[in-house]
Structure 1
């Protein structure tokens, strides 16, 4: 079994990068997309084998809801997670590690980790 791959779709590099680094330290493979077009490319290319997409619902690049619906329609094995605010997105990443690395800032990634684990546990297939 391969390490799960998480696609983070977030326009704000100050949110995306620390979250990606945290998840990498937890053993996940992480692909970063600054906008929806990049997310489409990551999925359509097929080289990343995405398991979970963590998507900001707002931002300047379009609706996270629309991207999530597109992913569910075109890539039904990819689980999606939506985050509403910086705090909420960071909170969703919280429990990806049993004993996660210490963040430089006081951020709670545990809920995100828990949710990714739940999504991966319900995934069908290899």
Structure 2
């Protein structure tokens, strides 16, 4: 049964794999979250800049493509939307190589996603933000 959230947080799930992205997004919706799906960093930036929705958190695959890679996107979001929590996910070894000089912060979650772990991680992030 879906957990009903009084004012459900809005999330972005950014993953180039439509099956993974859609499956996780549907699970999160079932848990009561509002979810926007993005296949590239460009789609994430458009969603944030349009401002129709105020996003609280994002789950970003470390191998996301677009004008910015996932780590550059993380830096851009932190600069322009510092209140949006970012969860990086992916293969730790490949993500560490991709991050290289961009940041010390590697992936927070391992793919394939365990949906319950994703929800638990989002809840911890949002609870920490409210403190």
Shift of 1:89: 4.0
Question: Aligned match of 2:39 in 34, 56, 60?
Answer: 34
Structure 2 gap ranges (5+): 1-5, 92-108
**Relative to structure 1, is the Cα distance of residues 59 and 44 closer, same or farther in structure 2, using a 3 angstrom cutoff?**
closer
TM normalised by structure 2 equals: 0.75
Residues 72-113 of structure 1, C-alpha deviation per residue, up to 9 Å, x if partnerless? 11001100000014x82443xxxxxxxxxxxxxxxx312211
Structure 1 gap ranges (5+): 92-107
TM normalised by structure 1 equals: 0.78
How far apart are the structure 1 equivalents of 2:127 and 2:112? 21
1:88 aligns with 2:110: yes
RMSD: 1.8
Aligned residues: 108
Q: Is the 8 A contact 1:19 1:90 kept in 2?
A: no
